Copies of this chain bind each other. A is one copy, B any other.
Amino acid sequence: MAQRIAKQDFSEWYNSIIYKTEMVDQSPTRGCAVIRPYGYALWEAIQKEVDTQIKKVGVQNAYFPLLIPESFLKKEAEHIEGFAPELAVVTHGGGKELEEPYVVRPTSETIIYDSFSRWIKSYRDLPLKINQWANVIRWEMRSRPFLRTTEFLWQEGHTAHAGKEEALIFAKQILEIYRQLAEDFLAIPVITSEKTANERFPGAETTLTFEGLMQDGRALQMGTSHLLALSFPASFDVKFQDEAGAMQTPWCTSWAVTTRLIGAIVMVHGDTRGLVMPPKIAPIQVVIVPIGKVEQQPAVQAQAETIKADLEKAGIRVHIDNREERPGAKFFHWEERGVPLRIELGARDMESQQVVMVDRLADENAKQTVPWATLTQTVIDQLASLHTRLFDRAAQFRQDHWFKAETLADIAAKIEDAPGIYQTGWCGKTDCELELKTVKASVRCLWKTPEHKNCFACGAASTGDILVAKSY
């Protein structure tokens, strides 16, 4: 029976399984990993889903230069302070030392606002909703594939709106698109809420986040949506004439999800048998393993192809494994790669017109017999059920690891042995927030339902609950 991963083994398990299943490879570039096809396929599926949803709310894709003049980053004081330690700098180009160095984009607000300053003249040009699919670089000393790498892939959305309320509503609309992506597509339950001032994006007035809880009890920030401070677009002279003829600065949002989501899929759903792919994003949803040698079983082969064609007609991603390997080795291979459903088909099944079907979450020996006639519908139902079971299991795990704490001492006494989400009260002061460093934890977000009267750190009146956790 497959087990969840014990927290003391988690880090090693993660680092091992992503290499074994050929999702990533090492690279000669410090802090960077190669994303192999089995990992990249997940990113392609995420791209397709996010791209479809953001286009529905009027976002258009564009592309801005990778290299940003160093002086641009310095125009917004908070922004450069936040990113300076992480920059990669191009000092030479075309065989010469450059007069002004370029930084490789760590994010693109600065160069995009330069364009916005030309594209936006009047209220009629608003809202302006732009997104780019791109690579970014933030220098990392301690990297881990997908979760924290010097280079990563993302989409970065940038919008400008005439009013603050409208901009904030849009930032929340994007957060809702992200929530649906996580919960309905990746089967990962997430908390959506707001960051504290200390945890905000450098230059933002509000940072919204969605956070998942990994199997080792650590939280993962899976993506963010920001309302920028008005000073940020103003630094780049972005302004518009309103209906009354007055010049105003637009309110801007920016928002992103990254290849980090691939790490979340691995960390939330995996087990001691390997990866477990959420059905909607699984690169292969059904693997068919014909039993017996290919050349000796033409009828089995033909039937496998028929089943594949039928399933593909229903939009299901199917692979037939005809490698020269024993069936047991093939079963192990695809289980480790987390393929949701396996279909076994041998000579015996030809007469009875059925297959054996095994579900990735079932016990190893729980084999189900399914007649050919009802196979497509059974597969559709089973994939839907698997999505629900994965989501429910992760939601149950989160509920089991959601604790209430009154004081820092309460948290300190428990969080090492029982990592998870600690809900507590907070006075709103950053000094108190920073006390969490003593337990190597942080505020993941504010929490809407207050249940605590006092700040966990100073004991003063709480202004609202917060969720505290160790995090990636």
- A-side residues, CB < 8 A to B, are 25, 27-30, 32-37, 40-41, 43-44, 60-69, 72, 84-95, 101-102, 104, 111, 114-115, 118-119, 130, 134-135, 137, 139-141, 150-151, 153
Q: Which of B33, B60, B114 contacts A37 (CB 8 A)?
A: B60
**Are B35 and A63 closer than 8 Å at their CB atoms?**
yes
Q: Which residues from B are CB-within-8-Å of A89?
A: 90-93
Instruction: Please list 29 pairs of residues, one from A and one from B, whose beta carbons are closer than 8 Å in the complex, sorted by A's number.
Output: A25-B118, A27-B65, A27-B115, A28-B68, A28-B114, A29-B69, A32-B67, A33-B65, A34-B62, A35-B63, A36-B62, A40-B62, A63-B153, A67-B137, A88-B90, A88-B92, A88-B94, A88-B102, A89-B90, A89-B92, A89-B93, A90-B91, A90-B104, A91-B92, A92-B101, A94-B139, A94-B140, A134-B135, A135-B135
Secondary structure of the A contact surface, majority rule: mixed
Which residues on the B side are within 8 Å of A67 (C-beta)?
29, 32, 88, 137, 150-151
Q: Which residues of B contact A101 (CB under 8 A)?
A: 92
Q: Is the CB of B34 within 8 A of A115?
A: yes
Q: Which residue of B lies closest to A102 (CB)?
A: B29
Q: Which residues of B contact A94 (CB under 8 A)?
A: 85-88, 139-141
Q: Are A61 and B40 in contact (CB under 8 A)?
A: yes
Q: Please report the C-alpha to C-alpha distance between residue A170 and residue B118 in the assembled complex, in whole angstroms.
A: 46
* Smallest CB separation, A49 vs chain B (Å): 15
- Given A89-B90, A94-B85, A141-B94, answer yes or no on A151-B25 (Cβ-Cβ < 8 Å): no
Report which of B60, B64, B88, B153 forms a contact with A34, defined as CB distance below 8 A. B64
Residues in chain B near residue A62, CB distance under 8 A? 34-37, 40
A141 CA to B189 CA, complexed, in Å: 51
Shortest Cβ gap from A86 to chain B (Å): 7
Chain B positions within 8 Å of A135 at CB level: 66, 134-135
Contact residues in B for A35 (Cβ distance below 8 Å):
62-63
Q: Is the CB of A34 within 8 A of B91?
A: no
